[in-house]
């Protein structure tokens, strides 16, 4: 009983402290306000790329939303104080559609403003993360950055044997033979597999075309490099997939010179996490730390993902991503 009270007091006190810390930090980070006359807009591409808005889950997972990033890019295009755009990438990839949407918005920014765009990579900038970087004029990476993974993957989970084990049976009534494609209750048919492979090949072709346009490489050469391989920053530079090696501040200094900014540039971030998101993000980390001794985070994540998959048969069970 005493242990339970201690835990309740601990989390209650922590929540109150985080609330006031978040409140105070809200006065420090005032995202959305214009900077001085000459500044660089930083677009954060951190986490799994998804459609919609950026956010984080209670389990601590980060997701960067295409809608959020596109709004930031458009805000930078309308801001006269912005002289250049910096894509700060730390992402393993994600939604194909979301990645392409952000890539196209970057191209629109360059066409509309004529201002330089630079991508800088942190730990990981692979697959969809690399796709977004291709919209930049030049790409920086750390020597140990993991990048590449040029390709497309589509997956679905089949729980047919699990259903049979527990005596579960799903009855399906559909208007056409493809309407429940990707259902977790059965195998794919030959026709369905061919249909999905055609989709994957088409989206893969878009990725290869983006690499060809962004990096100026022959298509045959790209196809050799685009079989899902990952590369270090050093390897990527040798292969022509990036331009220079350097960290975030090397990128800032280089971009400032390209944009003709004198002195140390001001960095403008158009969005910051809301007070509630900061509180919940920190609180989730503490909860997971407390549970870490008895429950693995991967186990919790897998259970929730399985539950969601069981509730969303058909197309919702399919994942198309870079």
CA of 6: how far to CAs of 1, 9, 102, 155, in Å? 9, 5, 47, 44
Please state, in angstroms and rounded to a whole number, the distance separating the CA atoms of residues 99 and 131: 7
Dihedral angle of Cα 224, 227, 231, 234, to the nearest 10 degrees? 20
* Annotation says 127 is catalytic: yes
Check the CA dihedral 77-122-214-265 and report its sign: positive
The span from the first CA to the last CA of the chain, in angstroms, equals 49
The DSSP result for 164-177, as a single string, is HHTT-------SST
Beta carbons within 8 Å of 138's beta carbon, 6+ residues apart: 118, 119, 243, 244
Measuring CA to CA, which residue among 125, 88, 73 is closest to residue 232? 125
CA-CA distances (angstroms) from residue 87 to 44, 114, 160? 6, 16, 43
CA dihedral 209, 213, 215, 219 (to 10 degrees): 40
Cβ(45)–Cβ(90) under 8 Å? yes
- The single residue of 56, 96, 99, 127 carrying the catalytic annotation is 127
Determine whether 284 is an active site residue.
Answer: no
Q: Which of 179, 257, 285, 296 is catalytic?
A: 179
Could you tell me how far CA 311 lies from the centroid of its own chain?
Answer: 24
What is the spatial distance between Cα 300 and Cα 303, in angstroms, rounded to a whole number? 5
State the catalytic residues. Answer: 127, 179
């Amino acid at each position: 009983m005493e242990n339970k009270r201690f835990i309740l007091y601990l989390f209650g006190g922590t929540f109150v402290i985080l609330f006031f810390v978040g409140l105070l930090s809200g006065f420090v980070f005032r995202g959305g306000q214009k900077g001085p006359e000459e500044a660089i807009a930083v677009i954060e591409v951190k986490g799994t790329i998804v459609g919609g808005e950026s956010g984080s889950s209670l389990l601590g997972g980060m997701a960067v939303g295409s809608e959020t990033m596109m709004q930031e890019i458009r805000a930078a295009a309308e801001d006269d104080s912005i002289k250049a755009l910096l894509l700060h990438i730390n992402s393993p990839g994600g939604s194909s559609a979301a990645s392409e949407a952000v890539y196209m918005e970057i191209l629109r920014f360059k066409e509309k403003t004529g201002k330089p765009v630079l991508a800088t990579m942190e730990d990981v900038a692979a697959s969809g993360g690399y796709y977004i970087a291709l919209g930049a004029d030049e790409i920086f990476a750390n020597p140990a950055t993991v990048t590449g993974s040029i390709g497309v993957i589509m997956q679905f989970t089949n729980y047919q044997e699990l259903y049979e084990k527990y005596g579960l049976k799903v009855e399906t009534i559909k208007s056409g033979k493809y309407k429940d494609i990707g259902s977790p209750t059965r195998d794919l048919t030959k026709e369905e597999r061919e249909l999905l492979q055609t989709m994957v090949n088409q989206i893969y072709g878009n990725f290869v075309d983006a690499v060809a346009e962004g990096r100026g490489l022959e298509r045959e050469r790209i196809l050799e490099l685009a079989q899902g391989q990952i590369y270090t920053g050093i390897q990527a530079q040798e292969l022509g997939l990036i331009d220079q090696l350097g960290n975030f501040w090397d990128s800032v200094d280089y971009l400032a010179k390209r944009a003709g900014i004198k002195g140390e540039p001001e960095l403008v971030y158009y969005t910051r996490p809301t007070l509630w998101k900061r509180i919940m993000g920190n609180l989730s980390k503490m909860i997971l730390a407390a549970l870490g001794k008895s429950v693995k985070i991967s186990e919790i994540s897998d259970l929730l993902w399985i539950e969601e998959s069981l509730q969303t048969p058909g197309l919702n069970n399919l994942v198309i991503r870079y």
